[in-house]
């Protein structure tokens, strides 16, 4: 991989802009992000207010998407659930990045013993089924959204480690790295100022793809009772409570499930688009 120039960044941006599916996915993510940020202001009702006299009602003027088993407004809970689920996914990706990327940079740059030890630890973690490991960590830490997302972040950290390690091994022999070594730059400065900017794109691709996986993981852990605790709402916790009323009110299951599907598909589409554009760019002569 060569140093990423401004011209090649522009080429990457034009390729992404030319893909209609990526543009639509980015639009979906923008809407979800806006909904998450403005949920307290645009939600028509308090998401935890109960009205037992109007349980499991269908759409109406007062409740556009109906009410759940406790008479709470479904639209309000979906909006606040968007805020919780996206925030939780951001926490998981942040933990995975902070844990995996620095170690991957070190292993790829230093090689030898550091690479051997760190890679064996990463391989050991990857050999354990992700959901099983996340459940074990979340159970040990205690049931809460923060603990569940820390667990998910730890599970996904080896993936970031491997991407950072591989990309660093590709660029460490480049002329600009050797020049930095010759001028006496410290290892920390070389990794931060010269290596990381040139391995950032694969990490961004990995982050987008991991966002989708983290949404599914949050939904799964909340469904098992290890994530969001009542009365807070997330997409996974809404599914958990709605399954018991599938025959009476199937839309309680369909709505959060549909939002999860759309969000995961959008993140994966953007990640795939970035990966394809990056692969085509790297095949071009510099």
Contact 59, 9 (CB under 8 A): no
Q: Domains in the chain and their CATH numbers?
A: 18-38+63-282 (1.10.3720.10)
Closest CA to 82 of 133, 30, 119: 30
Question: Which pLDDT score, from 0 to 100, does residue 4 have?
Answer: 45
Closest CA to 109 of 182, 183, 206, 189: 189
pLDDT exceeds 50 at position 46:
yes
% of residues, the chain, pLDDT over 90: 36
pLDDT exceeds 70 at position 5:
no
Average pLDDT over residues 208-233: 87
pLDDT exceeds 60 at position 1:
no
| pLDDT tens column, 127-148 | 888 888 888 888 888 888 888 8
Question: Which pLDDT score, from 0 to 100, does residue 140 have?
Answer: 85
% of residues, the chain, pLDDT over 70: 91
């Amino acid at each position: 991989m060569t140093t990423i120039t401004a011209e090649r960044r522009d080429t990457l941006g034009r390729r992404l802009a030319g893909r209609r599916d990526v543009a639509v996915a980015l639009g979906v993510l923008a809407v979800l992000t806006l909904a998450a940020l403005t949920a307290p202001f645009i939600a028509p009702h308090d998401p935890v207010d109960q009205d037992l006299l109007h349980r499991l009602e269908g759409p109406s003027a007062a409740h556009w998407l109906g009410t759940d088993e406790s008479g709470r407004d479904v639209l309000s809970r979906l909006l606040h659930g968007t805020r919780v689920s996206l925030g939780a996914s951001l926490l998981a990706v942040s933990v995975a990045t902070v844990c995996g990327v620095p170690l991957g940079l070190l292993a790829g740059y230093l090689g030898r013993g550091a690479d051997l030890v760190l890679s064996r630890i990463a391989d050991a973690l990857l050999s354990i089924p992700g959901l099983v490991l996340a459940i074990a960590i979340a159970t040990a830490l205690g049931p809460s959204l923060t603990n569940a997302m820390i667990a998910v972040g730890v599970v996904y950290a080896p993936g970031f480690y491997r991407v950072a390690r591989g990309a660093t091994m590709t660029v460490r022999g480049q002329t600009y790295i050797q020049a930095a070594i010759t001028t006496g730059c410290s290892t920390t400065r070389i990794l931060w100022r010269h290596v990381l900017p040139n391995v950032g794109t694969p990490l961004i691709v990995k982050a987008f793809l991991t966002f989708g996986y983290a949404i599914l993981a949050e939904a799964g852990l909340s469904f098992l009772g290890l994530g969001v605790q009542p009365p807070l709402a997330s997409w996974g916790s809404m599914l958990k409570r709605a399954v018991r009323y599938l025959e009476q009110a199937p839309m309680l299951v369909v709505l959060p499930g549909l939002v999860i599907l759309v969000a995961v598909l959008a993140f994966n589409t953007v990640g795939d688009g970035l990966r394809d554009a990056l692969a085509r760019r790297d095949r071009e002569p510099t």
